Chain A
Amino acid sequence: MTVLRLDGVSAAPWGEPVLVDIRLAVAAGEVVALIGPNGAGKSSLLRLIAGDFPASAGTLEFGARTLADWPRRELAQHLAFLPQLSLLNFPYTVEEVVLLGRTPHATGARADREIAHHALTATDTQALRNRLYTQLSGGERQRVQLARVFAQIWDSGDMSGKLLLLDEPTAALDLAHQQQLAGAIAGIAQRGCAVMLVVHDVNLAAAVGSRLLVLDKGRQVASGTPAEVLTPTMFRDLFHADVLVQQHPNGRQPLVIGL
């Protein structure tokens, strides 16, 4: 089942085109990792799908409908977006922040708190539950915001038809929490949730992504399994970097070695 389809989509929210002719279909349960140099349009692609600005050309379909035809609230029940930066500077408790993710739903306080509990567990923030958000470290804040978007689309049953967009979710996380996040993403993907995420660590991208999408200067330059995409040629052409690409000892994915 295709959850998201972009057909020849371009966007130029500030005059200059930031995305050009993107063609992409994401199926339920698929995890698409976006990679590319700084300024390639990775975040812009996520923000376009999240509806922060309109496409200037092409069609964007989510589920069975054009994205623009979705009623705001219903869309928020199916699509959640974690931005790179959080502006929150009011002293909510961690659990209050996570419960804000339930705003578009009318599932009732008890169900909401149960879902918040699952989301807190999935991001290892259970112990922070009663702390004030403003007193947390950067990595802790990022995990709390992750818990918030998890809670927004959480369903203990089938999650197909839902889409989670994560913009650099691992940027402030330590190694243990990166691995835990990879596990949590795999968990919701198994239940049918589609995930698109921006990551800079290509090995992490290869580990979590069932598919990699490479962007450069707003254009999509490669798409495929990690083994197809991660080649020394690609790194030389796109990142102007020399790397070694080998088989990962775990036998499931390529391993990119920088210097």
Chain B
Amino acid sequence: MITSISQRRHRARQLLAVLVALLPVAVLTGLASGAVSLGPLQALRALLAGDDGGQAAMIVQQIRLPRVLLAAVMGATLAMSGAAMQGLFRNPLADPSLIGVTAGASLGASLLIVLGGGLLHGFVGLTLVSVGAFVGGVLAVLLVYRLASSANGTSVATMLLAGIAITALTGAVGSLLEFFTDNERLRQISLWKMGGLDGASLPRLALAGVVGGSVLLALPRYAPALNTLLLGESEARHLGIDVNHTKLALIGWVAVGVGTSVALVGTIAFVGLVVPHVVRLWIGPDHRYLLPASALAGAILLVVADTLSRVILAPTELPVGIITALIGVPFFVSLLRQRHHYGMQT
């Protein structure tokens, strides 16, 4: 395929513009949909109403708004983290969970669910499980990072293998816990693993906003470094990039971002792997466009998926991870079938 740089950049800017326009639409649709269905105008009015806005205002402002915004922030964080990891590992199949963060977080959460006993009810319980997930995720990444580091620096290939090892280990310990626990907790663990945004609240949204916002602002600063890293680590070094600092910073931000997302909304697979991949097929691997476009697309995907999860079987909610996969996979597969068109090999 023949593509000039100007065409590619034009296409990237077009995509960014479309995504920027779509995000508010998705958010508004999310606010309007649910067990009590509102029209888009009604939802907008309820959103802007004061304290005496009635029932609609309460539903939109206190229940749906934190949830929809949480979905947007976490979707953006997961997708941008995925794009950064695919660049760092020079592998379009890389995923934020490769560095062990998701597995560690799952184990941390399972541990608290099983050992927490009767403490774990309501908001306090949810918060404790989240803390367990976050600590587990960060500890796992630290372990993976230590295993892959030597006097000569950190090897990303070794990190990948160490990540697989740690994922297997935490998976085994997690299964052991599940084996010995009772049925109620088993279901709790398995629901938590499917991911969901039903725990959304203003304090959680604030936390997600601060952490996710920092990650979303920090990662694009490494876009030029990621562009050169695709050539190879020593090539990036020869182009004046501080490769070791870049690696450490990227892994640190991704660990914090994904750790927080697993802690707040459970494991939502797929967004971090496929969104950046699809965006790259569309606009090419230049991270200056890929990172923000992935973030926007990830936010839209998770908001839409969460809306669907509330609507399809209302008033029952489906786990959102199921929906992200059901929406994303057909789209992804159709792109894969035309992969040669996009210059992707094998």
What is the interface of chain A, defined by CB distance below 8 A to chain B?
47, 50-52, 72-77, 79-81, 83, 86-93, 95-97, 99-101, 103-104, 129-135, 152
Contact = CB atoms under 8 A, between A and B. Distances in A.
B284 A91 contact: yes
Contacts of A133: 343
B239 A91 contact: no
15 contacts: A51-B237, A86-B231, A90-B92, A91-B343, A100-B231, A101-B239, A103-B240, A104-B240, A131-B2, A132-B343, A133-B343, A134-B343, A134-B344, A134-B345, A135-B343
B234 A72 contact: no
A93 B4 contact: yes
B92 A95 contact: no
Interface of B: 1-5, 8, 90, 92, 224, 227-228, 230-232, 234-235, 237-242, 280, 284-286, 342-345
Given A51-B237, A73-B240, A95-B5, A83 B232 contact: yes
A135 B339 CA distance: 12
Nearest to B240: A76
B241 A103 contact: yes
A98 to B, nearest CB: 10
B301 to A, nearest CB: 23
A75 B1 contact: no
Contacts of B231: 86-88, 97, 100
A93 B7 CA distance: 11
A133 B8 CA distance: 14
A242 B30 CA distance: 80
B228 A103 contact: yes
Given A72-B242, A75-B240, A92 B345 contact: no
Contacts of A152: 239
Contacts of B343: 91, 132-135
B285 A90 contact: yes
A103 B344 CA distance: 24
Nearest to B92: A90
Contacts of A97: 231
B202 to A, nearest CB: 41
Contact of A100 (B2, B239, B284, B345): B239
Contacts of B238: 50-51, 76, 79-81
A103 B232 contact: no
A80 B240 CA distance: 10
Given A72-B241, A75-B240, A92 B232 contact: no
Contacts of B285: 90-92
A132 B228 CA distance: 16
A100 B226 CA distance: 11
A86 B4 CA distance: 22
Contacts of A90: 90, 92, 230, 280, 285
Contacts of A79: 238
Given A72-B242, A93-B5, A99-B5, 18 more contacts: A51-B238, A72-B237, A77-B240, A79-B238, A83-B235, A87-B231, A88-B230, A88-B232, A90-B280, A92-B230, A92-B285, A93-B3, A93-B4, A96-B5, A103-B224, A103-B241, A129-B4, A130-B3
Nearest to B227: A100
B85 to A, nearest CB: 14
Contact of A132 (B1, B227, B232): B1
B339 to A, nearest CB: 10
A49 B102 CA distance: 41
A130 B4 CA distance: 5
A100 B228 contact: yes
A91 B232 contact: no
A29 to B, nearest CB: 22
A75 B284 CA distance: 29
A95 B8 CA distance: 11
Contacts of B224: 103
Contacts of A103: 224, 227-228, 239-241
A131 to B, nearest CB: 7
